[in-house]
Amino acid sequence: MRDAKTLPLAGIRVVEFTHMVMGPTCGMILADLGAEVIKVEPLSGDSTRRLMGSGSGFFGIFNRNKKSLAVDVKSAQGQELVLRLVAGADVFSENFKTGTMDKLGLGYAALSKLNPGLIYVSHKGFLPGPYAHRTALDEVVQMMGGLAYMTGPEGRPLRAGASVNDIMGGMFGAIGALAALAQRHQTGKGQEVQSALYENNVMLVAQHMMQFAVTGKAAAPMPSRISAWAVYDVFTVQDDAQIFLAVVSDTQWHVMCDAFGLADLKADVRLASNNDRVKARDWMMPILREHFAKLSATELSSRFEAAGLPYAPITKPQDLFEDPHLLATDGLTPITLPSDASSAGQEVHTRTPLLPLRMDGERLPMRHAPPSIGQDTEALLRELGYDSAHIQRMVQDGVVKVITPPQA
């Protein structure tokens, strides 16, 4: 495992005022790359810690490798210590409603005067414009940005099965921060970076916009689209199991026909090219479905893999914890979530996915589990010059929360 000091962003300090998914994703990426990311939380902690249902995994995945500073930023003393912290920071990241940071005295105009080299990253629902006043969520922008229309069947718009805009929007925030840091190396000046859910969603559906521009025909929702490839679908097979099978070139078509004894289809001139097969899907696909329905998903997987053809089992998220590829390639790492980062109020011992990239032949490590509320408050305050007596007074006055860090 790489030493923390050798990670790409070692020595970069990030102060984040974030919650939910978008802002924390940006901080997680920067933290995984080696930055020191300080999560500023209210004394009660980020509300994401206590979410249930589909939100119960938010805090645990998006807040690893971070430190927690629990402080009442609305108090004079709390704001003073945050300003001390920001004065020595490289990046400030936030994803609260427009105007919130300004009211706290932590907007870009104020902080850039305090620290001219600061990179200020704002994650919003919309970039500045007519929609900027609206409250946005991932599902809101999926609906208004064409993604839900493309995902569901005709007349049934459906959100994607993950927080795609929140996560990707956080990625763009991190990309913008990295670009701004590189530019600061040349100019010595910081700048404001803005990322937004809606504009991110538009990027996701841009291919369908261009499809209309090129063909003059509106893109059909994915379940009813005319696929670019003739065989590119989910098949129901033996024991009602399902498997995704694909054939995306003429060479693959010949290979598949040979592997499954489909000589008649291989020789049929009506199926000579991919485009011919796309036009013939109405009568060709029932033949393939009937043929494959006699086989098990395991056998189809084995034979498609042996032939070098694309296939995929229909996997549930929980199954990925035992995925042999992820386990063999260090794609999952052990993690312990503290009790205050779990809606159940108990420690959780599990594994978590790492960033999907390798650098210098290695995955980027998880150095620290998501922190407990205020886990690093005392250490950070001492670093900022506060002595024990001052810290104790702030604790008694309800300005900060200090806890004893858990033993290793």
214 found inside a domain? no
Same domain, 134 and 243: no
Q: Which domain holds residue 284?
A: 227-313
What is the DSSP secondary structure assignment for residue 104, as one 8-state letter?
T
- Out of 263, 288, 313, pick the residue that ends a domain: 313
The amino acid present at 168, given as its one-letter code, is M
Q: Name the token pair of 165.
A: 């805009």
Q: Parallel, antiparallel, or unpaired: how do β-strands 362-363 and 358-359 relate?
A: antiparallel
Dump pLDDT digits (tens) for 246-278: 999 999 999 999 999 999 999 999 999 999 999
Residue-wise DSSP of 176-243: HHHHHHHHHHHHS--EEEEEEHHHHHHHHTHHHHHHHHHHSSPPPPGGG---SSSEEEEEE-GGG-EE
Last-in-domain residue among 255, 290, 313: 313
Amino acid identity for residue 219 in this structure: A
Same domain membership, residue 380 and residue 346: yes
Residue type, 188: G
d(CA 32, CA 6): 12
CATH of the domain at 142: 3.40.50.10540
pLDDT > 90 in the chain, percent: 90
Report the distance separating Cα 387 and Cα 80, nearest Å: 15
| 172 and 265 assigned to the same domain | no
Confirm whether 339 is domain-assigned. yes
Lowest mean pLDDT among 90-94, 96-100, 121-125, 291-295: 96-100
- In this structure, what DSSP letter does residue 249 have? S
pLDDT of amino acid 2: 67
pLDDT of residue 247: 95
Dihedral (Cα; 375, 86, 119, 172), 10-degree rounding: 20
- Residue 220 inside a domain? The answer is no
- With DSSP H G I counted as helix, E B as strand and the rest as coil, what are the percentages for the chain, rounded to 5? 45, 15, 40
- Shared-domain flag, residues 111 and 237: no
Give me 242's structure tokens.
Answer: 């399902």
Burial (CB count within 10 angstroms: exposed 0-12, middle 13-18, buried 19+), residue 49:
buried
Count of CB atoms within 10 A of residue 66's CB? 27
Domains identified in the chain, total number: 2
Is the pLDDT at 406 greater than 70? The verdict is: no
Cα end-to-end span (Å), the chain: 18
Which amino acid would we find at residue 103?
A: K
- Say which DSSP state 397 is in: T
Q: Which amino acid makes up residue 328? A: A
Residue range 198-203: mean pLDDT, rounded: 98
Per DSSP, the residues of 66-88 read EEEEEE-TTSHHHHHHHHHHHHT
Q: What is the CATH number of the domain that holds 284?
A: 3.30.1540.10
Q: Is residue 213 part of a domain?
A: no
369 and 282 belong to one structural domain: no
The closest of 136, 96, 152, 150 to 120, measured between CA atoms, is 96
- 3-state secondary structure (DSSP) of residue 312: strand
Q: Residue 376's CB: how many other CB atoms inside 10 A?
A: 22
User: Domain check: are 243 and 340 in the same one?
Assistant: no
Q: Is the pLDDT of residue 373 over 90?
A: yes
- Asked if pLDDT for residue 407 goes beyond 70, the answer is no
* CA gap 287, 81 in Å, rounded: 70
The percent of residues in the chain predicted with pLDDT above 70, rounded, is: 98
On whether residue 215 sits in a domain, the answer given is no
**Is the domain of 175 the same as that of 297?**
no
Q: Are residues 58 and 165 both part of a single domain?
A: yes
Q: How confident is the prediction for the chain on average, in pLDDT?
A: 94
Question: For residue 306, is it within any domain?
Answer: yes
Residue 188 lies in a domain: yes
Same domain, 37 and 183: yes
Please report, as a single letter, which amino acid is at residue 249. S
> If you average pLDDT over residues 73-93, what whole number do you get?
97
What single letter denotes the amino acid at residue 111? L
